[in-house]
Amino acid sequence: MWRFPDLMDDLGEHLADNNRELLPHVFMATVEKWAESLLAGRTGELAALLDFLADGVAGGFESVQNLIDVSFVENLPYPDEPTASIRAMLPAELRLLLQHGIDPDPE
């Protein structure tokens, strides 16, 4: 999270609310909402976040891929919603996750 200091307060609140335990899927939903908020003038930071998540998907760890898929990508706004333009910014690894059932790193 140090790469995205704006999330530190949210992380601290999350940990305080959960007896100092990180609940990755719950917190990732917070990250997704924050990503949507970056559309309003902070697209460089949004691109950095999306690239960071794409690197996580490409890293090959199934648990990380699942976290990003289920709790970030699946929480993205639908195409007819106001912040749906975030979908157009997704790197290839994240766009693939939008297509359910497609492995982003087939072997």
- Report angle CA 32, 38, 41 to the nearest 5 degrees: 165
Q: Determine, yes or no, domain membership for 87.
A: yes
Give 59: exposed, middle or buried? Use CB within 10 Å, 0-12, 13-18, 19+: exposed
In a domain, 91, yes or no: yes
Task: Calculate mean pLDDT across residues 7-22.
Answer: 96
Contact predicate 30/80, CB 8 Å: no
**Is the pLDDT reported for residue 75 higher than 70?**
yes
Phi, psi of 21 (to 5 degrees): -100, 135
User: Residue 100: is its pLDDT beyond 90?
Assistant: no
Model confidence at 104, pLDDT cuts 50, 70, 90, reads very low
Would the pLDDT of 101 be above 60?
Answer: no
Inside any domain, residue 7: no
9 in any annotated domain = no
- Whether 107 shows a pLDDT value over 80: the answer reads no
Residue-number span of the structural domain to which 58 is assigned? 23-98
Indicate the number of domains in the chain: 1
